[in-house]
Structure 1
Amino acid sequence: MLHGHDLLAIGDLARRTGLSVSAIRFYEGKGLIRSLRTAGGQRRFLRSDIRRLSFLLIAQQLGLTLPEIAGELARLPHGRTPTAADWRVISTRLRRTIDARIAALERTRDALDGCIGCGCLSLRKCRLYNPDDRAARGGAGPRFAMAGHEPG
């Protein structure tokens, strides 16, 4: 059973998280947090939403997309503050995601070092060149510089 002290007005949530009221409404609209409504129609948020929004801000700084963040938040219990064990499960999953992104960034950095420094000025010799669009099945964009695709 919720008590009045368990709920926060949107302005209080904004002050506690450093987010603007409009940002909180945006995240609510995306389903990342949920509000309850008073008899007068005012939004009230659970205290646990402070941690959810804090996690969201950190996850965005780590480069996670809103759908990725939503997937992680959906795994957390609604209506109670997540426990250390809840966060540990998410942390383990995020660690794998972050490690994969670090590896992709390192591959991209290494490819760009060779490309920028080679001075070849020739698409025929360029390590990132994609003759006959051989990388097309991998998707749009500079495939050899993304996600571990190797020129060949």
Structure 2
Amino acid sequence: MSAIKFYVIDINPAFTQKIKLKQFIKHIFSIEGKKLDRIDFIFCSDEYLLSLNQQFLQHDYLTDILTFDLSTNNKAITGEVYISIDRIKENAATNNATYLHELKRVIFHGVLHLCGYLDKTSEEKALMTEMENYYLNQFEVFHVETR
């Protein structure tokens, strides 16, 4: 059984619809033909994410997300997704989007990385953005299963 967990390090993400979001993330994996074992989403500050970026990727700049694929086999995906709430708030203001819209976009971005999407080239970035937008639209009409 797959698990999706949300953790807070040093800043509260303050969002609702967690059950719907977890079910929708599983739905994304299903659509993408990937098997999910576990994803931990860790919400943190710019400072915390910068230290991870420096330590693990030797990048000395702020970012909104770091995604680590911790899978040990090809059967199921295990990952950690670190998200800077400071960056989400700034990106939302810059992109004239709501905080919750930007938060979902970045969460789906991390999920897409774990599903194999890349964003290094302009073509990869365009496809990533297209898929983020697709899943953002799908989320709005997604119905939560109540069992």
**How does the TM-score come out when normalised to structure 1?**
0.28
Name whichever structure is richer in strand by fraction. 2
Bigger relative contact order, structure 1 or 2 (CA pairs below 8 A, ≥6 apart): 2
Q: Which has the higher helix share?
A: 1
Pick the structure with greater CA Rg.
Answer: 1
